[in-house]
A = this chain, B = another copy of it.
Amino acid sequence: MTRRATSQDVADRAGVSRSAVSLVLNGRGAGNISAANQAAILAAARELDYRPNPVALSLRTQRSATIGVVTDAIATAGYAGRLLQGASERAAAHGYLLLVIDTQRDPSQEARAFDTLRDRQVDGFLFAAMSLRSYEPSPVGSGAPIVLANCFDPDDRVLGFVPDEIAGGAAAARHLVERGHRDIVLLAGTPDVVATHLREQGYLEVMAAAGLAVPPSVVGGWDIEQGHAAATHVLTTRDPLPTALICANDRAAAGAVLAAANLGLSVPGDLSVVGYDDDQNVAPTMVPALTTVRLPHREMGEAAMQALLDRMVEGADSPIAGRVLLDCPLVVRDSVAAPAPRPGR
């Protein structure tokens, strides 16, 4: 391969100065450069396949056309990669590339990540969390703007995009109520994550509005085994059995379905189950396919990146802040049915 063409090369070929090629190629030719020379420059650039050197551009303009992404182990998180995907596509559409650093939840790495990225002259920061949490950004006001995805500033000085978990929990419960269920138990996630409480709140609101008694929730957890254990507990303990389970996430739901099978119960015949996340590795291909609430990972990535891009043109001092709630739509599949008529009623 031969050396890449520089603006000097196209200037030489067009018989003009570098200034002229710069002006023309940046759309400022009109009124400055003669039509003949404009044409010559354009032709030369095309023939030489000239593209400005981004590094030189960076040095000159103090901008890099790259966004620094610091994450919370998101790269390891599986379906959460869709967040990065959404952010990446939106950035690419505007000519930006992503420099991503995964901090593995280590706060000291996090600080260094911001420094490293700032050194690299990134034009903006996106901080993305693996699972919904609060995040106190250190580098506020320290240069490039920052936007949060799947996390939020407790003081709302920074803009964050998060799932509307209360509505998500409510959607799950409402679907079951509408299908005729009256005895719905919640297999909650662990109390250390905020989503657990938000989803429970949504569930509780719907139960109250429907005038339904709330059976004791069970704290399960986020994986197959914990869903299995929690479901086994309620299915061997409750009499009569509840007709529906709302699970902490899709993996827990898979565990619950397996627990039901182990007890000779069929889903959704004997028991309806709804999951959470719409985990592509689980929900659509479970047997039965899981009715679930979708977490808007891709949307969070897209929206946060778009907000960041907007903010970068307006200047870092634009007054946007706070948190915006993204919809968690119900995805109806095959794990919910109307409850079987109960003998005792």
Contacts and interface: CB of A to CB of B under 8 A. Distances in A.
Contacts of A262: 261, 266
A102 interface: yes
A257 interface: yes
Contacts of A135: none
Taken together, the copies of this chain in the complex come to 2
A56 to B, nearest CB: 6
A101 B98 CA distance: 8
A287 B224 contact: yes
Interface stretch (A13-21, A115-123, A239-247, A320-328): A115-123
Contacts of A264: 264
A58 interface: yes
Given A55-B58, A251-B285, A99 B98 contact: yes
Contacts of A257: 258
Contacts of A137: none
Interface residues of A, number: 56
A255 interface: yes
Contacts of A99: 66, 97-99
A226 B81 contact: no
Interface of A: 1, 51, 53-56, 58-59, 64, 66, 75-79, 81-82, 84-85, 88, 92, 97-102, 116, 119-121, 141-143, 223-226, 228, 251, 254-255, 257-259, 261-262, 264, 266, 279, 281-282, 285-287, 289
